Structure formats: structure tokens, C-alpha cells
Structure 1
């Protein structure tokens, strides 16, 4: 039941009221929050009942003076305190009795359209838009149609706003944080004495309430366009419409530039145009197509994705005529018989009508410079990314273009997309190509925003928060939108040890909270790029900010061919003209491990090589024939020389000079290595059709000194693969997790350098049987290696080669199929193999003609390959000693005496009289002189490079030849490195390893014998 209260004016500075003390105490006792309490005020006025709705401020009103009983009776009425300005706005005077009743089941406001009461209110609101947005809820709680809202700026300046429309349609709604407040501009209009009548008509037309709709501008044109097109579902009105831009709330928070402040605009014309409206189903819903001629004269800034308001006049106030070269004229309403006089320009009609030609109302200047959103640039056709691009496009289309279907099915919103990949893999180009396509797709019409995170690394957290809120506000206003954060891991990296990660944690929480809030309310999709998923803060993944993860893998040979074709076909003219002459398959085969950026750089280097070749072969007699620049296959070969792809930069690759001819014996082992390592790369087209998983792991085991490491060195030279050598103990670390990280990093390096051979020497030291280590370091290393070698993804282009002399100590799980499934024995050399080894060693030494290698191969039973090499080296030293005259050499050394240090340069001038130079200064000058001399030598060599080479006579120097006596003397002093007992023991171990393995695993209990337990201190 409503109760009568006495109105008193109190400077509350808001549209809220103070309730009587009994009411306030009762609400507080019931636990009611002030923001959830709304009251209805009703009072009689001129025979009708007026109503107003307002919220409770949370405070109690001051009771009446005790002497009020003489005026109002006993007991005196309770007091309702309101602000005097608010009371005047709703039509209540002080001392008036009003009926007050609580409102129940008040719907929450979704959107409210308001208009400034006067031009002064609009100008004040433009200056303080940010303050009004932040403090509007603290001053207004209830909103209803045709309400005159009072908003105080900093408690001093009053701004009045008239409510034009609320959503949902209800007598009153409650304003909450989720409500959208749309303010229509009302710019001051300058009137001229000659156009007083026209100004009165326009002002009357502006003050008239009319329906309006908020739509997005359509980015493509319609056939035979000559006005404004909208979908019939958006509005059924036709005729003349007034087009004005709706300014979002976040636009007021942006600070004007210095240029704008220094040159203020004096023209205050309204930012609106008039045009005819046509209904068409070719226009998507919630969009409007505007002919370009409407904005050619710069009336208002219209950009794709901008929201504008179309206001259709409900009543004929003025008849606006548009001059046209055609005969037809259109009016704002349907013409009647009385109005036909204005449509038919006859002499009598002109005499009866009073027509004043005023200023063209479709022309008005802009009062504020604005930067339209950037349109995605046209990108070239990308190659080699069809699969991942199709996945991203389908996901984006489903989230943005089919959002109506998702809302009907109550499908929960999906998170953003995180695109990972190495630097130069093409992540940014891929996302920009996606944004360009969805921007022009009529089914999506997506607004795009790109943020370069690398430029925001040094920004303070409050500044970044404001910028992030502005980007999300802009995306929400122009929704559906795609918000692209490039290199997000540069801005929000993962936490690292021994460093303060407070900033990263703070930014991650801020970003995830704001992203979840905005994407749940608006059709916004977030796309980000990162080098790895682990390089981004884990909060972004665990809080479902990014639910779709896509990794850009290094391109395969066919994908590299497609990338090269796309680069050359849409590049310079010289590239497109040279494309038929280039074998892209051969270039793609020779660029294993190259990324998209590397291929682009390779093409540029090839163009440079072609230009250099063309300059060198310039023919002055026939300049036309040599002026044409054309690429050849040799240009790409020259471009690859000295070029290191980005995936191999910083990766330590081993190089070797050992060839297959330098190794004697081990023919079966070499054959198995060729089949496993060289053939899959050399004949990739054949092996790609193999339905089985190819072998990717080999283990070389055998006696010490039998050529295991030498074979691995030859693999690095002969197989054409990148080679990474790892000594066993160097990856072990006593800290928990450090050894496993070393193993992961090692395989990541090998994956980046593929095709690559990962060679583990002394493999038994890092992968022993689990349970034999008191610290558990090697156990964790074995577990990590098992995951890396035969995990869910497997190894692609990475071959693992291990060498050990004790295969029985290696954990059996590493020797099962899929890992090191092929074991190759490097046994003791037989007679034929020893002879082969001696012949291979003799190629690098000078032997006398009477030396019989067969004799020494028979007398070196039990020698390993290393022993035979030592045997030859000792003989070579004996030959050198015999060829040298030691006595004469010593006498010559005594005669020469100690050599004095020479600078190699002389200082002339004033610098010579200064203090003596220090050793560091002398070394610096010598280094610079050496660089100058080296440059001159290189210049001379390049000048003489094309000249015919002349045979250089070499002075006959004395060469120490190895004689039979030297070999006999070396054989007497050389002994086998492996004794007979040790050889027998190793032979039993190898036999048991091949034939006697049971496959049983140990129980995990540590060994109890002395010297049987391995630890890592």
C-alpha cells in the first residue's frame, strides 16, 4: 500500500532519495542493498496522476521540526528528501505530499537511448564523458521513458538528459553495470537571419520524438545504389531518414591530439545527413549500406563497422526536396493532393508557393578529427598453410558468423585462438590473411583490431589496463570483432626461476579477467600468436582465455614448394618471369629446415646473385641482351652458400672431415647406417609412401677403440644431415628438473635442425638401468628420453644414434622397438678388416714401396682400429726422427739466440713522441692492421678469381717416408689396448646381450656390491 510522505529539498546531488528513518532501518535489518531498492512516486497534477521512479541513496531523511505538529497535525508526516534540481525536473515542489510505494520485480536495463536536453548539456557531456560513465550508477538507479535525468559533474555542474527509449520495453527498468547507455549528439546550430523560417522548421523537426535504430555500416556496394539500404527486419519505415553517428562512451575517454587542440573548429553544424531509405534483403541484418556520395562532401565520417542511427520522421513537418538530374522527386512523407503543388513545378504553382532556397543540409563539417579504423591490407596468396588456415577459418566463422544459431541452441561461448610457431614460421601473416578474409566475407563482416604487443613491453600496468579496456570497448562497440594480439608472449611471458614475475602474473590476471568478461557479453574473438605454448603465462590457458591451440609446423618439401611458388608468382616481375625456368622441387629438397621467412630471404638473395652475375657478364657491345635480369637454378645454389636459416641460428652443429674411405672394415655396420640415415632423406618420395613407421634409432656397441665414434663422425660428413653430438655426462644436473629440461631442449634443437642426427656418446652413463641411482637423476633422464623418443608425436626427421661399450648397463626400455631398436656391433677386426684399416690409414701417410701391409695385418692379432692407428702414428714419428738432423738443428738455435719482439708497425708524427703504448693498445693496432691486410688479400683474390690458374712449382721439400724398419720398431713398442681377459669378458657380455636377454626388469632395489651404485653428487 502506498504511503503519503512530505517532500523536502536536500542537496543530494543525484536522482536518489532519502527515505524516512523507520523505512531505512527496516531495510537495513532485512539486509537489503541500496542499489536493489526502487520506489514509485505518484501525485495528482491537473486532473491526472503523475508518476516518477527513483532509487534509494542508502541514507535516512531528517525528520521534521517538533513545531511542525502545529502545521501538519499530530503525528507529523514522514519526510522524503530529494534534490531540488531533481524535484524540479520531475515536477515536484517542496512541501508537497506524494504517494510512495516500493517497486517489486524490476527488470534490469539492457540498453537506454538518451538525448541531451540542450546543446549546452551535450558540450559538457562531451568534455566529461569518462567521468559520467564511471559515476552514472552512483547518481541514477531507475530509468523510464521520457524521463529527464539529472547528472552532476564533480558535484558542481548539472547535465540533463532526456530518455528516448529503453530496452526491454517496460514502464521502468533498473540501471546496472551491464546496461549500455547510448547518447545521441546534439550540436549547437548556427542560425542566419535569412533562414529563420527554415531554422524554426529544423528545430521543430529535431525536437520531435522519432523512432531510431542502431546499425553497422556495410563495407560492400549494392547494384544501382542511390541512397540508404537496410534489411526489412530492422525497420519497416521508408522515405527520408536522418543519418547521424552514435558516439560510444569510450570515445570520450580518449585524449585529443595536440593538433586538434591547437586548431579548434569553429563550425558547429550538425553531424548528420538526410537520404532516402530503401528496404532490401541483400543487406545483412543489423547493417546499413550507405552510398559513397553521401560522405564525399565530408558531412560525417562513415567507416566500415561504425554504428549510426537512422531516425525516421513520424509526422510531416517539412518537405525536403533533393535536386536530381532525373524527373522524379522524393519527399519525407507520402504526398497528398494539397502537397502536389510542391512536386509539380508549374508557373501557377511557383506563383502560389513560397520557396526559399537555403543551405544544403547534407553538408556539414566535422567538429572533431577522428581516425577511422584501419582496413586490413591486401595480402599475397599464402602457400603451404591450407590445412591450418582451413581450421582457423572454420572456427572463426562458427563463432562469429553463426552466433545466432549458437544462441538459439544455448551453446556456451568458445575461447580464443593461440597460434604458436617458431620465429619466421608465418604466424602473423596467417592471422592477417584470416582477418582479411573474414573482414570481406558477407556472412561475417568482422571488425578487426591489431595490437603489436612488442611495443607495449615497457608500458606501466595502469596505462596498459586503460589501453586494454579501450581496445575491448572498441571491439564490443563494433562487434562482431576480432582482436589480434601479435607476440603476446613478449608482453605476458611465463614465469621463470630466479626472477621477479610479479608483473607478468599481474598482467595475466588482468588480461584473462577482462577477456572472459567481454567475450561472454559480446561477440568478440581473441587471436594471439606466441612462439611456444610454454612461453606464454599458463594463466592464459588454464583460465580458458585460449581454448583453441594451433601450431605452425616447419613446412614440408611440398609446402616449401608451394611457398616458393607463391612468393615468385606474386613478387617482382623478374621472379614471375623466371618461374618457368626454376625447378622448385629441387630447391625445396635442398632447403630442409627452412621456414617461410627463410625462403623469402633466400629468394631475395637469389635475386641479388642474379644481379651480380648480370653485372659481371655485362657486354658493352650488346647492352640489350645483358640488361634483362633472369634467375637461374645456379643463383639459388649460390644464395644458399653461407646462408643459415633461422632454425639453425644458435644451434651448435658438429662438422667432420672423416669420410667412408677413411674407415676400414665395418662394412655391414656402414650399410645399416646408410639404409637408416641416408636413404630416407635421399629418396624421400619413395619412403613417404611406406605405411610402416621408419626406423629412427640406432645403437653402436662394441669393444673400445673399434670405430663407434669414428662411424658417427663419418655420418656427419657423408649422409648430408645436420649432426649434434652429445657427451653423456654433460646433460646431467643434480637439481630436480634441470636434467629433464636439458633433454627436452636437446630434442627441440634437433627438431629445429631436422633432418638431424642426435649422437649420444657413452650412452650408458646417462641411461643406465633405473633404480641404480641413489639421487634419481638418471632415472628421470631415462623417463624423459623414453617420452621424447617414442612419445605420442614421435620423432620426425630426427635420428638418434647412441654409442656404448656396455650395452648391458642401458635400461632395456630404451632398446625396445620404436626407440633404439637396431643394435650394430663394432667387433674386433679380422685379418681382412685389419688389412683394410691399414690401407685406409696409409692414404694419409707416405709409405716406402717395399712395405708389406699384409705382414703387419697378420702380426696385429687382437689390435683394435684405434690400436692400428696408434701403431701407424708411432711409425710415422720414428720416420720423422730419422729424417731430422738433431745436432745441426740445436746448433742453429743457439746461433740465433732469443728473438726480440717486433711490433710490425711504425708510428710517425706527434703520436710517436707520446708515452709508450701498452700491450693492449699495441694488440688493438695490430688487429686493425691485420684486418686491413686481410681485406686487401681478399680483394686481390677476387680480382684473380676468373683468371686462368697457373701451375705453381713447389720446392722439393724432404718428405719423411715410413720404412719397413720404422714399422717393425713401432710394432715392438705397441701393445693391444684390450687384454685377452677383458676381451673375453666383453665377448661374454655381448653374446648375452644378443642371445641371452630375458627381458626382465630389475626390481628397482639398489645394488649392494661395492662400486655397483652410481650417484651424482
Structure 2
């Protein structure tokens, strides 16, 4: 198409398009236009629109036209081009360092809005990018691939490089002191600051708290003290004119790019701590003729109050802004507007340089409902958690110091702890500290629990939205609570859930590690354990995304007393007794205990909590530590119900009951006490029965584990099962951890082709005698073949107390029969001594079978006679039952076990493959 001569007209649209009238034939929206001015070619995308320009005009944004050097009201040649190819990649360079800083902060915003502002690019042709109505940046197009000019597309890659040092960046160069004032008036490039509420300073320097248009910064070489500046939000079309003053005698160890403003400004702008503003010096002061005051209601009293408020501002030079609510009374506000004698660029403010300005202007009062509708924007505020901070003082200080050195290095931190230990309260406490004085770090909390089950794309969108806010307000901290719910460890790689978890984890790893290469953003996550995190997020070797790991330790007795006193507000209670009964409890358990105790007191119509209420609440309280633990059902059998084995029972009392009952005494022992017991003996001699009776006798919780239960075909799963068992035992301490059939779980190492049992033994050795001793957990193992156990398990510090449960002798059998028949009705002729003499070689289980057989014989005889009344067992019935009962162990078996136990008791070495029977 042949070129046409069109006259340039400046328009106000914030983009790099050109605007044409619909009457211009062949021109249409989206067409590529080449403008030629003074022999230089420029390329644009056209927009055809009504009522913007006349037929002989072409419209272009005034700011962008001046950037290109195109003057208004001149004629240019406009040529319609064929459609241009799509650009694969362009490289741009901001014109100034300030523009580069803005692009770096608002990369997400620029990326989403770039195609709405520019479509055609050409090498060496500058473009303007608008970020809101008050701010734009200028960039040079350094290169266009594969051909220039071309059109941008959604898949076009945009590279941004830092500007070269030049005369344009005068502030980066060293200047003589005599030139500083000259430069401050000559160079009007904006300076960027983070908004901080003035109330967060320890000492509020603002004497008149009702005047919001006075802001404070730390002394700065590029800002004039007591000067007037326009503050414009980077991501919103809002601005105010402020008087900037320097803070004196305030610590500035952490950040200098903070501006402290009145809380009303943050509320009116609907922003939170860390929002970025650009400060530009005001060079032209508007001249006004009249001040208009908008008040919520018309009354002489209210007008007088407004004048009194304005008189308070007459003590110094100041600035006022239009239509900004100013506090008049507790619930009433007023606002101002001005009439000007001529057009000024700053029409929304008025600056008074003299102190007696109030008497120079006329006032007009108007009633307006808009002022009464003003509402405060709720600030995002991390309140310090309502929990006992003394317990977590050390970990809070360590994590705070990790983030809060002057450079704010974006280190990453993991806080691990089981459910209810106070992880959420802890991170809330840390966020409250970091967002306050003197750090002012922008903290954003993401609750992963609410995101569980979402797709990778949805999670990535949530993460990008968080990054868009955090990059603008950096230095900032991203907090991911319950991170393991999104990036959980996978047991089977081919499982559908494992594939999803791996995809999510890979995405999080790429996004989190990528954002920290460019921006000052720290990451704080919480998880129930490190093993719960996916291998892409945390692994023991290789690159570590998280450099610092803090584990919330279990509460000791002093911690529990402190927590109880904090929860119950030092009410007169027996805290020593309660601390013993709440061993193994977590922070949430204490909150539940307080609420249940308060409920018990209210049921009795009492206002104060007493000890009896706490005792009742403890009985009804289900601790969080028990929620996922399979406990052995409470047995009705105690030591009194077990005949014989008196020496074994006495030893168990000394080894288990005393250390748990008198923990304060045993904890002061200089040497580590015995922590494990091995019960061994022939089958049926009461080993498992004894373990069940321990729970009833000592009032302890019991976790019973069968050896084969922990074995798994998957590599590493068996060892993890062992670790989980010991961790569960630590959660519910004091308790007894009982391993039955221990020889199937921990045989001698070196004789397993698969290596599974070898790894299990290694894990058991680590758990039984690790660096951290088992506290409040007694390990009891039972086996009939101690010779098959790995010898390392029986060394001091592990299962070093070995107790033999032998075959009962005659006196033992009499005692067993008397105990087992305690609930049976017996005739006077029953002689258990005679029965004991005839049952040589019978184990305790065999004697129980004898009594059971006798009871069945008696029932059969009653049924034949149709007599429903049970009679007493006689000696004859017992003798008949004895004829039908045989011992479970043959003589050869008993000899075999005797030989094994004799060698085991004498610590004789067993030779693999040697015979221990008469066969």
C-alpha cells in the first residue's frame, strides 16, 4: 500500500499502539503500520476506533511519542504492511537502573499485561511499558529473533538485561558535596520504598496522629529532608503527595528502603506492609483560591471542629490531599478539595509553605455522605501466638537469627514436629517477629491443607500469585504450613498417587529454587517429619533446598509444668502430679486438658478449676499422640493372676516400675540405666502373659508387636516400620514396647540372602542404643530361641536384662493351678498337689488346658442328665481330664531347650549349623 500523510495527535491511552479513524480505508485493528518521520522508520500495531482522532490524524500516546522523538501536530508517512512474522525471542534493556528495578519487582505483572500494550517490536526501537496509570518504564529493544520487525505472541521469550553504566544513571556515580543539591533538583527519576505502618516504630515521631500526610524515612542521599514528594503505588493506580522527614536516633541496621506512613494511608490504599511506592520530587506547587470541606452532616459545631483541626496543622509547612478521609472525631471524618486559579499537573494536592496559610483562603462547607462511608481496610497481621513462648524461646531465636541479619540472605528453613506440637503457632510467632520492628519482612502464609488434592497447574498458579506479591514487597518470607501434605514421600514409584506427588514436588522444587536466584525471598515450611517429605524436596545427599532444619523436641517435665501453669494461669493445682500424668503430651493436649477441666468445673457450677476437675479431664482426654497408635487392649490379667515366676515378676518390678515411678531419682543416675528386658523360655511358660500383665500391673500403655508384622517385601519399608514403632512409643510414653517372637525379627546377621533381616537388626541396634536414649519407654522382647538372636542385641545398654521363664516345678504347678482355678467351683476333695505330681513336664499353658478339659467333661455330664445347674469340679473329673491331656513339649523338646538355655546362660558361643537335639 502506498504511504499516506497523517498528522500526529497525542492521546492518553497507556500503550504503544497507534489509533486511526474507521474512515481510513484499508486500515483495521491489528494491522502493522510503518511510520516514517524525518527519514526514520517506526513500527506499530494499529487500533481503529471511533471518536478518538479525525480522519486525517493518527493518535499515539504522548509519553511514548516523546520517547521516540515524534512531535505533535507534525505530518508523518503511514504505510500499511503485510502481516509480520511471529517473534520467537526478544532481548530488552531498561533505559535506567530505576526502570530495571521496577521490572525486577513487577516481572509477573509486566508479563501478564505486556501483550495488552505492545504487539509490534523492532530492533533499536524503544518501547514504553506502563505499570498502572502513574508509572511507566522505558526499554531498548536490543535484539529480535528470528527477524525484525515482528509481532509478539504468547510464546515469545523476553530476556531482560541490566542497563549499562552511563551518564543517565547519575546517582550511581560519586559526586562532590557541592553538587548534591544541584543533582537532587536536576534528576527527577523516582526512588522506590517499602510502605511500613508508622505505628510499628517503637517511638512514633508523629506528634499529631490525626495528620496522615507526613512520612518518615532513614536519612537518604537522594531524598531531601522536609521535602515534598509524590508517592505512587507500583501495582495500583493510587498516589498521594507527602512531606518526607528524616528519622533521627533510630536503628537502621537492616533496611534503608522503608518509608513509614500513617496507618490511614495503608487502609485507604488497601495494601499491607511492604507495598512498593515510587517517590518523585514535586517541582511545581499548585496555587489555590478556595478550600472545599466535605463533612458528614451540617452543623456549626462540626464546622468549628474542622477549623480547629486545620489550625493544628499551621505550625509548619505541610501538604494536603483531596478526597482523603481525615479523622474529626472517633466515628466521623471529613475530606478536602481545592479550587485552582490555573491548570497544574498536581491537581489532587495543595502545598502550604507558610505557617499562617489558614487565614489566606476562603472555606466552603458541603455535606457529603461519601465521607461517612469510609471503612478501614483490614491489615494482614500476624499476631503473636497464644501459647507458652518460654518453651520455644531457643528455637524462635535460632530461626529469627537465620533470617534477620542485615543482608537478609534467603535461607530456607524446615520445622518438623508431630501433630499438636505447636508448629503452626510457632511459625505464626516467627512471622509476627519478622514482620515487626526492626525487620519489617513481608510474610505470607500458605496453608497447604486447603490445597491438598489440587492439580499441578492449580498449585503452580497459587504459587505464582504468592510470588507476585512477595517479589514486589521483598525482602519477604513465604511460609508453607503442613508442606508434607502436598509433597509427600512415595513408597512405590509406579503408584498413581506417587506419580502425582512426584510431579507436585518437582514443580515446587523448580519454582522455589528458581525464584531465589533472582529475588530476596526466604522459605519456611513445617512438616510432621523429614521422612514425610518427597525426595525431590528433601534428601540426605546432593543439593539441599533447605539449609536449616529445626525439630520441635518433646516436652520434658519442666516444660510440662511451665505449660500447665501458663494454661491454668497459675491456679493452685498439683502441677508436679499433673506433669507426671501428662508425660508424652503435646501442646494441643494441654489446651484440650484446660478446656475439658473448665467444662468439668462448669458442670458442677463452679467458676474455679480444682484438682479433681483436672483428674476427671485426664481420664476422658484422648491425647493426640494416641490417635494413630495401635495399643494393646487393656488386659484384666495382673501379676496376681499369674502363678509362679515370682522371681521374674520381682525383677520386672525393679527394672520397669521403679524407673518410671521414681523417674526424678533415676534421672540423676550418673550412668545409663538398663532399658531393655528379654524374656526367654519354652513355649507356654507365660512370657506373653507376663508382658500383658505388665500393662495392668504398672498402669502403663502397651504396644505389642509381632515380629513378622514389621517385615515387608519393599526395600527400606521394614526399617521404616521399625522406626515408626519406636517413634510411636516415644509419643505415648511412659509405655511398654513389647516384641513377641523376637527371634523371627532379629536373627543373627550374615545368614540372610536378601539382607532384609540384617538391615532390621541394624535399625534395632540404632534405636535401642542410639545417641538419644529412650526416655519413658521400656522395651520387652520375648522368644523361645535366644540362641537365634543377634548377639549385638544382648550387649549392655540394649536388651541387657535376660530373664528365664522356666518350666514350672511342682510348687510352681500347684501355684499355677490355684491361680487359674480361682474363679472355678471346686469340691473339697480336690488336691492340686497330687495333680502337680502327675503333671511333670507340663507348662503353664498345658495346665490351663487341663482345667479347660475338666470343665468340658463336667458340662458333658450335665448335658446327658439334662441338668442345667453346674456342679463343682471333683478330683475325679480332674484325674479324668489329666488322662486326656498331654504336655505340648515332649521330653526331647524339653531337653533341647534345657541345653539351649544352659549354653545361653553360660554365654557359650553357638556354632552355626551345630545340632541342639538328640536327632
Specify if TM > 0.5.
yes
Q: Which residue of 2 aligns with 1:431?
A: 427
Q: Which residue of 1 aligns with 2:664?
A: 685
2:406 corresponds, among 402, 427, 432, to 402
What is the rounded CA distance, in whole Å, between the counterparts of 2:242 and 2:907 in structure 1? Answer: 95
Question: Structure 1 stretch 589-598 or stretch 129-138: which is displaced more?
Answer: 129-138
Question: Structure 1 stretch 864-873 or stretch 798-807: which is displaced more?
Answer: 864-873
Determine if the alignment matches structure 1 residue 556 to structure 2 residue 539: no
CA contact (8 A) 1:139 1:151 kept: no
> How far is the alpha carbon of 1:720 from its aligned partner?
1.9
Structure having the higher Rg: 1
Write the mapping of 1:610-625 to structure 2, written as runs, cut at 5 A.
Answer: 610-614=601-605
Q: Which residue of 2 aligns with 1:286?
A: 257
Q: Which residue of 1 aligns with 2:629?
A: 651
SS at match of 1:757: strand
> How far is the alpha carbon of 1:211 from its aligned partner?
5.5
Q: Which residue of 2 aligns with 1:993?
A: 904
Q: Which residue of 1 aligns with 2:802?
A: 823
Q: Which residue of 2 aligns with 1:481?
A: 476
> How far is the alpha carbon of 1:384 from its aligned partner?
6.4
What is the rounded CA distance, in whole Å, between the counterparts of 2:190 and 2:466 in structure 1? Answer: 27
Write the mapping of 1:856-1005 to structure 2, written as runs, cut at 5 A.
Answer: 856-879=835-858, 884=862, 886-888=864-866, 960-998=871-909
When residues 737 and 455 of structure 1 are mapped into structure 2, their CA distance, relative to the original with a 3 A threshold, is same
When residues 111 and 818 of structure 1 are mapped into structure 2, their CA distance, relative to the original with a 3 A threshold, is farther
Q: Which residue of 2 aligns with 1:112?
A: 99
CA contact (8 A) 1:831 1:858 kept: yes
> How far is the alpha carbon of 1:431 from its aligned partner?
0.6
Determine if the alignment matches structure 1 residue 516 to structure 2 residue 484: no
Q: Which residue of 1 aligns with 2:10?
A: none
Q: Which residue of 2 aligns with 1:797?
A: 776
Determine if the alignment matches structure 1 residue 608 to structure 2 residue 615: no
> How far is the alpha carbon of 1:151 from its aligned partner?
5.6
1:246 corresponds, among 233, 248, 263, to 233
What is the rounded CA distance, in whole Å, between the counterparts of 2:652 and 2:457 in structure 1? Answer: 60
> How far is the alpha carbon of 1:281 from its aligned partner?
3.6
When residues 502 and 180 of structure 1 are mapped into structure 2, their CA distance, relative to the original with a 3 A threshold, is farther
Determine if the alignment matches structure 1 residue 504 to structure 2 residue 472: no
Q: With the length of structure 2 as denominator, give the TM-score of the two structures.
A: 0.70
When residues 847 and 471 of structure 1 are mapped into structure 2, their CA distance, relative to the original with a 3 A threshold, is same
Determine if the alignment matches structure 1 residue 391 to structure 2 residue 383: no
Determine if the alignment matches structure 1 residue 132 to structure 2 residue 129: no
Determine if the alignment matches structure 1 residue 325 to structure 2 residue 316: no
1:312 corresponds, among 275, 278, 281, to 281
Q: Which residue of 1 aligns with 2:530?
A: 533
What is the rounded CA distance, in whole Å, between the counterparts of 1:84 and 1:521 in structure 2? Answer: 33
1:630 corresponds, among 608, 628, 637, to 608
Any stretches of 5+ residues in structure 2 without a counterpart?
A: 1-5, 7-14, 17-36, 45-63, 78-92, 141-157, 165-184, 209-213, 292-308, 320-351
Greater helix percent: which structure? 1
Write the mapping of 1:325-404 to structure 2, written as runs, cut at 5 A.
Answer: 325=312, 328-330=315-317, 343=354, 374-383=380-389, 385-386=391-392, 389-403=393-407
CA contact (8 A) 2:94 2:137 kept: no
What is the rounded CA distance, in whole Å, between the counterparts of 1:324 and 1:526 in structure 2? Answer: 49
Write the mapping of 1:24-63 to structure 2, written as runs, cut at 5 A.
Answer: none
When residues 228 and 977 of structure 1 are mapped into structure 2, their CA distance, relative to the original with a 3 A threshold, is closer
What is the rounded CA distance, in whole Å, between the counterparts of 2:233 and 2:443 in structure 1? Answer: 19
> How far is the alpha carbon of 1:823 from its aligned partner?
0.8
Q: Which residue of 2 aligns with 1:1015?
A: none
SS at match of 1:845: coil
> How far is the alpha carbon of 1:152 from its aligned partner?
10
Q: Which residue of 2 aligns with 1:584?
A: 575
Determine if the alignment matches structure 1 residue 455 to structure 2 residue 450: yes
> How far is the alpha carbon of 1:995 from its aligned partner?
1.2
CA contact (8 A) 2:251 2:438 kept: no
Determine if the alignment matches structure 1 residue 770 to structure 2 residue 749: yes
> How far is the alpha carbon of 1:828 from its aligned partner?
2.6
SS at match of 1:817: coil
CA contact (8 A) 1:722 1:755 kept: yes
When residues 282 and 369 of structure 1 are mapped into structure 2, their CA distance, relative to the original with a 3 A threshold, is same
Task: List per-residue Cα deviations over 1:177-197 (Å, max 9, x = no partner).
Answer: 36599xxxxxxxxxxxxxxxx
> How far is the alpha carbon of 1:272 from its aligned partner?
1.0
SS at match of 1:289: strand
What is the rounded CA distance, in whole Å, between the counterparts of 1:817 and 1:313 in structure 2? Answer: 81
1:228 corresponds, among 209, 212, 215, to 215
> How far is the alpha carbon of 1:714 from its aligned partner?
0.9
When residues 242 and 324 of structure 1 are mapped into structure 2, their CA distance, relative to the original with a 3 A threshold, is farther
Write the mapping of 1:187-226 to structure 2, written as runs, cut at 5 A.
Answer: 210=188, 212-219=190-197, 220-221=200-201, 222-226=204-208
When residues 660 and 141 of structure 1 are mapped into structure 2, their CA distance, relative to the original with a 3 A threshold, is farther
What is the rounded CA distance, in whole Å, between the counterparts of 1:991 and 1:126 in structure 2? Answer: 78
CA contact (8 A) 1:114 1:161 kept: no
CA contact (8 A) 1:241 1:310 kept: no
SS at match of 1:485: strand
Any stretches of 5+ residues in structure 1 without a counterpart?
A: 1-8, 16-42, 46-51, 58-82, 96-105, 117-124, 166-174, 182-206, 253-269, 333-340, 405-412, 570-578, 615-627, 890-956, 1013-1017
1:699 corresponds, among 678, 697, 716, to 678
What is the rounded CA distance, in whole Å, between the counterparts of 2:456 and 2:723 in structure 1? Answer: 34
Q: Which residue of 1 aligns with 2:644?
A: 665
What is the rounded CA distance, in whole Å, between the counterparts of 1:275 and 1:972 in structure 2? Answer: 109
Query: Number of residues paired by the alignment?
Result: 742
When residues 163 and 743 of structure 1 are mapped into structure 2, their CA distance, relative to the original with a 3 A threshold, is closer
Q: Which residue of 2 aligns with 1:272?
A: 240
Determine if the alignment matches structure 1 residue 177 to structure 2 residue 183: no
CA contact (8 A) 1:426 1:597 kept: yes
What is the rounded CA distance, in whole Å, between the counterparts of 1:244 and 1:447 in structure 2? Answer: 20
SS at match of 1:534: helix
Q: With the length of structure 1 as denominator, give the TM-score of the two structures.
A: 0.64
When residues 725 and 239 of structure 1 are mapped into structure 2, their CA distance, relative to the original with a 3 A threshold, is closer
